[in-house]
Structure formats: structure tokens, C-alpha cells
Amino acid sequence: MVRIDLGGEHDGVLPEQSLERLMMIARALTGDLSPQEIVEIVVRQGMAELDADGGVIAVTAPDALLAIIAAVGTTLPIVSKIGPLKISRQLPITVAVRDEIPVWVPDRDDARLRFPELLAASPDSRAWAALPLTARGAVVGALGITFLQWSEPSASPSSSTASSRCRNEPS
């Protein structure tokens, strides 16, 4: 399973506290960067690694919600259309958190079957993925990404693809 470990609950420390600690460490190491800038760098690097057009990080919040702490690229209009991210909603990012699994939506047909609400909010996107963010075994949020153009790449042993990474298959 693909996971990004943020540290976490250990000896009574909550995942949110671990995230804050990670951000404090990052601030100390990066000097003048704000926590928001650091999170945006993480989103942009994830997008770059997967050749994505948009990215978002959402973290768990009270009342069974996910709170978006960064949105970059094509996800900005999607975020405004989609509304509150209740964990019970059927969206890739909520499923990644709720079910603690990476979610890959390779095309609009798959989205229509599994995530119909996603199509209305993201009419220009062609593929989506969401990866849970964990803190010592507890999911604390997810990285969501979107692709404006996507087609399964040709099989090449050296090819590094979003679908293989999100499915946790060797590339």
C-alpha cells in the first residue's frame, strides 16, 4: 500500500499534533517558508512525480470532515464546486481516508460508475488519484491529484506511471 507517513500517535500524541510538529521542524529547516508554502511544495512535488495537473492535501477535521490545507493547479475550481468534504461522501479523497487505501480512477467511465459526483465538479479532468497520508498507522488525511489528459502509457520497464504508483505496482 502506498502511504506517506507523517509521524503520529505515540505515547498519547494525536496525529494532528504530529503534523504540527512536522511543520515546526520543516519551518526550522527551511527558514522563511510558511507552513502553507511547505504544504504547497509537498503538493507540487507529488504532482510533478506523477505528471499531474492539480493536487490537494486534505486532513481529518472534527465532525467527520476533511479540511483542505492546500490546493494547487486544476484542483482549485474543483475544490470550490465540491463543497464540504464529509468523510461519508463517495469521492476518491474521502474513500482514501475512510477506507485507508490508495484510490485510482483511470478514466471518466470509471468515475461515472464509482464517483459520479466527481464528474460534475471536475468536467475537464480525465483521471484522478488519492493517496492516504498516515501517522504511525492512523490515516490523517490524503493527497488528491487530477489529470487533464491521461492515457495508459505503453508498457515500458523504465516507465514510471501514475497508475502503477497509485496501485502500488512496480514501475
Model confidence pLDDT, tens digit, residues 126-137: 888 999 998 878
pLDDT-above-90 percentage for the chain: 26
Give the three-state DSSP class for 84. Answer: coil
CA angle 78, 91, 125 (to 5 degrees): 45
pLDDT greater than 70 at residue 13: no
Where do the structural domains in the chain lie, given as residue ranges?
4-149
pLDDT at 99: 96
Decide if pLDDT at 46 tops 90.
no
Mean local confidence (pLDDT), 95-120 = 93
Instruction: Give the percent of the chain with pLDDT over 70.
Output: 64
Over range 47-72, report the average pLDDT. Answer: 84
Averaged pLDDT score across all residues of the chain: 75
Domain 4-149, CATH:
3.30.450.40
**CA nearest neighbour of 39 among 22, 18, 64:** 22
Residue 105 pLDDT > 80: yes
- CA 60 distance to own-chain centroid: 12
pLDDT at 18 (0 to 100): 60
pTM: 0.68
Which band of pLDDT confidence, cut at 50, 70 and 90, is reported for residue 9?
very low
